Structure 1
Amino acid sequence: MAGHLLCRYARLICRSSSQVPAAAAAATRLPSHAGPAEVKRMRGWPLITERLMSERTRATLVEYNQKTPTPSRLDELLEKATEPEDVLVAWAKQGGNSSQAADALVQWTRLMLVTKGMFPEQFSKGTIDSRLLNIMATVSKQVSSVWNSTLVSVLRSLWVMAVPPTHPLLCSVQMEVLWRVRRLTYRQLGHLVEWGAARKEQQDVAIVNAALKQLELRWTEIADAKTISALMSQGARMPPTLMDKLEDKALELAQSFSTEEIRKVCVSLAAQGRRCVSLLRALSYHLLQKPSAEFTTQLMMDMAFAYGKLNFHHSQVLQRMASELLPRTPELSSIDVTRFAKSLGFLKWLHIPLFESFAEHYTANSDNYSTLLVCNLLMTFARLGFQPSNGEQFYNKVHLVLQDSLCKQDPFLQTDVVWSLCVLQQATPSYLLPVTQTSHTRKLSGAPARMENYRLKLLHIAATLQLEYPGSPTSLAHLSVPSNSSRLPSVLQRSLRESLQGLVGVKTEALRTGVDTVYGWTIDGEMVVDCDNKLMDISQFKAPHLPSGGGDEALPVGVHRLAFMAWEFPNFGYKSKQLLGRFTLMKRHLQLAGFIIVQVPFYEWLELKTEWQKLAYLKDKMGKAVAEEMAK
């Protein structure tokens, strides 16, 4: 009953409030000059729910019959326009209000970009079409009546047109956008951030900052992957707190990301050094579900770069990219080959068929490779310890390039390339001698922060010259041997050294641990054994590998010098038991220096649980290493 009364009362109020007689107005004691009063009804009144109290499920809405505005002739002409001139002609003939003028300006800008590709310097020369000026003046007069979405598009159009900051229309639109920023949708806010990120004017920066503030407050409203990827790609302007929230949103919506959006997000994370593992895993999983047609070359190049920069490994994605890229290798440019190889080098991931195709690509297209690209390709091969099967053809072309141009490169790059040639066993005295001179060392001393690493590389280069080319004039006097005593040994190194001390027992004179050599390498443990594998006093024998030179006696015939090397997880390629190039060079240098290498890889040592097992393992390793050397 009460429900019926309420509905009838509401209907009467709406019907009676539409017009009030002039006599009623006179009874309200208003001044006679006020005229008849009109009581305006609220828009919410016609939307009345008619429902009985006993009927909880049936509801009927009484609404207006609102007619959709019929598109005007100008709207039709703007929609059909294919040239900027069509827009101006349509406006000159039809004219319109501010909203239509805003649409015309946006359409004209779009067609200018599509057909011309750029804007003439109209504003700087003062040669602006009078019809365009009329459009802009119409927008400026009634800018407050332009819809939000159109207003944001108008602002972008003015930015694209390079309108001067003092232009009246630009100032009006900027002020109106700032006034409405709280009422804009998250997509419109995202457009403002994306389009205005590179703007430097004070008012433009204020608009972008206001949009960012609103996005940070309303980030839960974001519900589409396109906006997230567009915002994250502007990471340099994003506040860290907003980036954290965007990463959470991206993780939530990862399934809806396209390959292009995945690419943009990963590249943005790499550019900012944000290693969000959970997000990278989710995006990688959904990337694997995409068809081969979407695995474009640009996508794979950028994904490999992002993975390499963030040191993020995903075996399945890397394998998929390698299989997709392998048949396309002949079509790649020299820059793409070098870039992809370098990214995989940072990841320590060696896909032999793919790298073989890279070497063949260089052999077939060496004229398209600059000296810098050749250097980067060599450094990647050296990092992974990769030797191409067509090595003779490959290195012949490399030497033709380096012999003439390497000395003209930056001293740091020159050192890196020569060191890489040492790893690949392609360094000759013509490369080594210039780098070991005192004058070259002085060139590197200008960067103290990098000098320690390059001092080690120079020691390795000098060791190559001394050990692989005996009799060559070389001096290590100007290169101080870095001490390893200040560095804390790893868990594996500490465990190995403790076991070696247990192996020698009270014969402490038979063992050296943490030995810094003149070659720039550090040996975890050093022993000397006779032909029966019995320990001998190590301090009495000469040791050319030590800065002090060791004792006075020469090493007798049949006596062997052992070097124990603990190979850590980072010393190997990703998911491989093959040593990286740096450690193959170390192993070769120590062998040339007269050591028998006893290798202790982490994957074998970690399986040993007791001290007895470790001692038995070391004795067995020593016996096998000596036996292999004797067999040679």
Structure 2
Amino acid sequence: MALITLRRNLCHLSDFRIQGALAALKNQPVNHVHKVVKEHLCPWFCSLQSEPFRVRFHHACCKKFHSENGNALHPVGEPVFSQIHDWDRLEQNLKNVDEQIFYRRLSNFTSSEEVLHFISTLQTLPDTMAAGALQRIYEVEKKDGDQRLPREILENSTFQALCIQFEQKPSNLSNTGLVTALQALTLLYVDPQSSLLLNLVAECHHRLRRGGLEVHSLCVLGECLIKLQGPGCATLELIICQLQGEKLEKFAPEDIVALYRILQACAEKVDQHQTFLNQINNFSLSVVSNLSPKSLSQMLTALVVLDQTQALPLVIKLGKYVVRHVPHFTNEELLKVLEAFIYFGHNDRFFTKALEQHVASLCLTLDPEVVSKVMEYCCRKQILSIPILNAVAETFVCQSEKFSPSQISELIEPFGKLNYLPPNASALFRKLENTLLTHFNYFPPKTLLKLLHSCSLIECHPVNFMSKIFSPYFLQQLQGDESYLDRLSLAQLTQLFLTSILECPFYKGPKLLPKYQVKSFLTPCCSLETPVDFQLYKSVMTGLIDLLGARLYFASKVLTPYRYTVDVEIKLDEEGFVLPFTVDEDVHKRVALCIDGPKRFCLNSKHLLGKEAMKQRHLRLLGYHVVQIPYYEIEMLKSRLELVEYLQRKLFSQNAGIHW
């Protein structure tokens, strides 16, 4: 192994004779040898290797540096270790112990000055440890937000000594030391055109062309080249080609994650690498359990960027292990996990439970982007999580100024979609109204419309803002540069206008012009109604025919003049008798059957979604007698006869006033 020796004149033990000491130690028990060597010989073990790589410090001024090649402490021709196999093994064990101690000490330092002072006190430093010291400098420096090294570190004599030796003698470095040094210096934003980095990259290219780099070194080199030269560099293809030729069993878990990151950077070429990706996806199932929280997050992010929708078994397994690490994720890592789960449509009740505990305990300290992403996750998956919704409502009341307009919309939208009012609803919407009054012009038009529509779903009607959103000026802003308004915006405007008529009769402001009103809320996309569940609809149809005697006495999927589509409509005369659906005269009352399948409720609950609750509320205000037939009641029925009896109770109860 190549070495870097940091020697001071006061550290040299002039009366110590290595050969004599070793001869004496070989006659001692192994435990005693271990102890003695660890106390006295460890600083010199590295310098007993072939072709050492050293930095020598002149203690007086600490400014002159030079490299020295040779075996000063191991005269040629004197066999010391080569004839003793057990001693070789002991040396290796001691070296591993030394490395553990070294990296443990490094991890305790919190500043670059501490790291550099520590390595300046060492007499001998292997190149991998020297590169590890550079990495630790990067880690402590990036905590301050600026990853570029301050001037005092760049001018530090110890730091310069390390850099000079990496620059002048890269061929003496081991593969691990070479790529680790390149990685650390790349992360520290050293000038890519500096001779230091150019020499290291050139040496890496030389070894790459010879095929002399192992899997881990290839992965590290690949990521460094992406940072230095971009994902389009030709060398990257050679690295990926060599990695494809390796058996995946050789890859450590962190190498698998690094491989995903490399392929992620070349996402535009994903089709070329899909066969290789399929192999990686299948193999990754075996390494998920060994991944850190950071690695789990990075792997999920790569799967999103690479659009690996066919790798759902891997996503599901990653989700299983994500649950265990929810409290340990950083804000950024948790954000990436949530984005991946939203992208793949993954949800897990155990993950939701862990997320509830995490958000409820830390919501006031979480990053606003994470809070809004948590709410988006609940909204997209229709998860009615009362602990999360309550915690977020409290956070917004206390810290509304932390959130951007788009984040505020993402926070409020789930309350409307999931049809939930938190305990502090009055304070929440008072705070929201004040925020809108103060910063109205900062909200993008579509974001504002979505926000106000969400409030209306849960009967928190934005009366004070209706005159603004129905004004020609706002509608023009909403349309922007497009030639027409999108379907969803028109539907939201229409429903808000219908709300102003039905639920806010005191509103006397501008009306929505007919050209901005849709004729139906039920459309193939961007619908404000959930289509009826076909199987459930067929079951109810069969029961109604048995109950009423003929298909003639009810109509299906009726579009009303008020833009809502009724699943089943039954017409009644003045005495409450059922009329054929073809009759338009003498219709005194209409019955609207809402056949509510699972998609009209929050996930795994009996709680109607906001848009379905609003629809039923509006139908009642329009004079319909609304009869709800939820799927969970139908599923309890065991026979056709029970279904008919159930429908009879629903339709012809004493209070219904319906006869047949």
Question: TM-score, with normalisation over the residues of structure 2?
Answer: 0.69
Q: Which of 436, 449, 463 is matched with 2:498 structurally? A: 463
Of 152, 159, 166, 2:179 maps to 152
Q: 1:569 to 1:165 in 2, by over 3 A?
A: farther
Q: Select 2:341's aligned residue among 288, 307, 311.
A: 307
Counterpart residue identity of residue 199, structure 2: L
Separation (CA, whole Å) in 1 of partners of 2:502 and 2:132 = 73
Asked if 2 retains the 8 angstrom alpha-carbon contact of 1:236 and 1:272, the reply is no
For 1:79-106, what per-residue CA distance to the aligned partner results, in whole angstroms no more than 9, with x for missing partners?
xx9xxx99x9587244448xx9987995
1:311-367 per-residue CA deviation (whole Å, 9 max, x = no partner) reads 211111211231243222343344443332222222221221332122122222233
Question: What corresponds to 1:514 in structure 2?
Answer: 557
Which residue of the partner structure matches residue 252 of structure 1? 286
Query: Does 2:576 correspond to 1:585?
Result: no
* Aligned equivalents of 2:294, 2:559: Cα separation in 1: 50
Give how far 1:409 is off: 2.2
User: What is the aligned counterpart of 1:325 among 347, 351, 359?
Assistant: 359
**Contact residue 55 and residue 66 of structure 2 kept, 8 A:** no
Structure 1 residue 420 displacement after superposition: 0.7
Aligned 8 A contact 2:327 2:358 in 1? no
Counterpart amino acid of residue 283 in structure 2: K
Which is worse superposed, 410-419 or 517-526? 517-526
Q: Pick from 432, 436, 444: which aligns with 1:402?
A: 436
Q: Deviations over 1:64-83 (max 9, x none)?
A: xxx986169986758xx9xx
My pick for the range that moved more, 576-585 or 339-348, is: 339-348
Q: Is the contact made by 2:382 and 2:603 (CA closer than 8 Å) also made in structure 1?
A: yes
- Indicate if the aligned counterparts of 1:103 and 1:150 stay in contact, CA closer than 8 A: yes
More displaced stretch, 456-465 vs 152-161: 152-161
- Looking at structure 2, the residues matched to 226 and 440 of structure 1 have their Cα atoms a distance apart, in angstroms, of 52
Q: Is residue 2:559 matched to residue 1:529?
A: no
Matches within 5 A, 1:575-614: 575-608=604-637, 611-614=640-643
Letter in 2 for 1:465: S
2:65 aligns with 92
- Distance in 1 between residues matched to 2:364 and 2:286, nearest whole Å: 39
Task: State the match for 1:217 in structure 2.
Answer: 245
Residue 252 of structure 1 aligns to a residue in which SS? coil
**For each residue in 1:507-537, what CA deviation from the matched residue of structure 2 results, as whole angstroms up to 9, or x when unmatched?**
63x4332122354432111112357652124
Contact 2:521 2:565 in 1 (8 A): no
Q: Which residue does the alignment assign to 1:26?
A: none
How big is each residue's C-alpha offset from its partner over 1:220-244, in whole Å with a ceiling of 9 and x where there is no partner? 2344222222333442426333332
Contact 2:134 2:181 (C-alpha < 8 Å) held by counterparts: no
* Alignment counterpart, residue 425 of structure 1, candidates 459, 482, 486: 459
Cα offset, 1:562, TM superposition: 1.2
Q: How well do the aligned residues superpose, as a CA RMSD in angstroms?
A: 4.2
For the pair shown, the structure with the greater C-alpha radius of gyration is: 1
Q: How far apart are 1:403 and its partner, in Å?
A: 2.5
The question of whether the paired residues in 1 share the 8 Å contact of 2:521 and 2:564 is answered with no
Q: 2:308 aligns with which of 264, 274, 277?
A: 274
**Which residue matches 1:481?**
519
Question: Which of 202, 221, 226 matches 1:197?
Answer: 226
Letter in 1 for 2:190: M
Give TM-score, length-normalised by structure 1.
0.71
Q: In the alignment, which residue of structure 1 is the partner of 2:8?
A: none
8 A Cα contact 2:261 2:298, kept in partner: yes
Paired letter, 1:618: L
Give 1:297 deviation, angstroms.
Answer: 5.7
2:652 maps to which residue? 623
Moved more, 393-402 or 441-450: 441-450
Question: How far 1:567 sits from its partner (Å)?
Answer: 1.6
The 8 Å contact of residues 192 and 228 in structure 2, kept in 1 or not, is answered as no
1:170-212 alpha-carbon deviations (Å, 9 max, x no partner): 66335314403x432221222123333344458x722222222
What secondary structure, in the 3-state scheme, does the structure 2 residue paired with 1:460 have? helix
1:491 paired residue number: 534
User: Aligned equivalents of 2:126 and 2:346: distance in 1?
Assistant: 51
In 2: Cα distance, 1:240 partner to 1:286 partner: 25
- Per-residue CA distance 1:1-24 (angstroms, 9 max, x = gap): xxxxxxxxxxxxxxxxxxxxxxxx
Supply the distance in 1 between the matched residues of 2:127 and 2:334 (Cα, whole angstroms).
Answer: 41
Instruction: State the secondary structure of the residue aligned to 1:197.
Output: helix
2:202 corresponds to 1:172: yes
Return the match for 2:296 from 249, 259, 262.
Answer: 262
CA distance, structure 1, for counterparts of residue 440 and residue 150 of structure 2: 46
| Contact in 2 for aligned 1:151/1:177 (Cα 8 Å) | no
SS of equivalent residue, structure 1 residue 183: coil
Q: Is the 8 A contact 1:564 1:597 kept in 2?
A: yes
Q: 1:197 to 1:569 in 2, by over 3 A?
A: farther
Given that 1:334 and 1:368 are in contact with CA atoms closer than 8 Å, whether structure 2 keeps it comes out as: yes
Q: Which has the higher contact order (CA 8 A, sep 6+)?
A: 2
Aligned partners of 1:356 and 1:463: how far apart in 2? 30
Q: Is the 8 A contact 1:527 1:561 kept in 2?
A: yes
Tell me: CA distance 1:331–1:529, structure 2 relative to 1, closer, same or farther (3 Å): same
Q: Could you tell me which amino acid in structure 1 is paired with residue 48 of structure 2?
A: T
Q: Matched residue pairs, number?
A: 529
- 1:454 is matched with 489
- In structure 1, distance between residues paired with 2:202 and 2:519: 69
Give unmatched runs, 5+ long, in structure 2.
1-44, 71-124, 142-146, 152-158, 268-272, 526-530
- Residues 455-486 of structure 1, C-alpha deviation per residue, up to 9 Å, x if partnerless? 22222111111211237453452123148698
- Residue in structure 1 matched with residue 26 of structure 2 by the alignment: none
Shift of 1:561: 1.7
Query: Tell me, what secondary structure is at the counterpart of 1:365?
Result: helix
Task: Indicate the residue corresponding to 2:36 in structure 1.
Answer: none
Distance in 2 of aligned mates of 1:220 and 1:161: 33
**Closer/same/farther in 2, CA of residues 274 and 198 from structure 1, 3 Å limit:** same
